[in-house]
Amino acid sequence: MKKILFVFVMFSLAMISCGETKKEDVKKEVETTKEVTKEAPAASSDMLAMGEKLFTDKTCVSCHQLDAKIVGPSIKDIVKVYDQYDASLVAFLKGEKEAIVETDPGQVAIMKANLDGFVKDLKEEELEALAAYMKSAK
């Protein structure tokens, strides 16, 4: 009888410790998922900061203000049209897509000069940062 009891106790202990490791595994998994989600906004705020800096450093700001048209359309107007057509700012900046905000040839030529000039030297991630900044600035 004692022996059976002993086996039973050992068995229960094994079950309990098994259960505990499982619980810990789950906890670990939850923690890793948390870390991933924690990092995502940080990365995107870095991206926004990079985009904002590029927008100034690369002189975009001298032709594009947030709210008012100067030489080029305002950031808000650009983003509104791009949202409306679900279009890609990055594709436009890469020169893959025609202008959709202002299609007057004289105006398009001004922006095209930038695309052919310095914008083509920007890296993919820089273009994405610029686009993310413009979208966030609306």
Residues forming the site for ligand HEC (CB under 6 A): 58-60, 62-64, 71-73, 78, 89, 92-93, 99-102, 107-108, 110-111, 114, 119, 130
| Closer Cβ to ligand HEC, 20 or 67, answer by number | 67
CB-side neighbour CA atoms (13 Å) of 93: 23
Q: 3-state DSSP call for residue 64?
A: strand
Q: DSSP per residue over 71-86, as a string?
A: SS--HHHHHHHHHHTT
| Closer Cβ to ligand HEC, 3 or 51, answer by number | 51
Angle made by CA atoms 117, 92, 86, in degrees to the nearest 5: 165
CB of residue 38 vs ligand HEC: minimum separation in angstroms?
Answer: 30
CB of residue 69 vs ligand HEC: minimum separation in angstroms?
Answer: 9
- 34/54 Cα distance (integer angstroms): 31
CB of residue 99 vs ligand HEC: minimum separation in angstroms?
Answer: 3
- Token pair of 72, please? 């080029």
CB of residue 112 vs ligand HEC: minimum separation in angstroms?
Answer: 7
- 24/16 Cα distance (integer angstroms): 12
| Closer Cβ to ligand HEC, 114 or 136, answer by number | 114
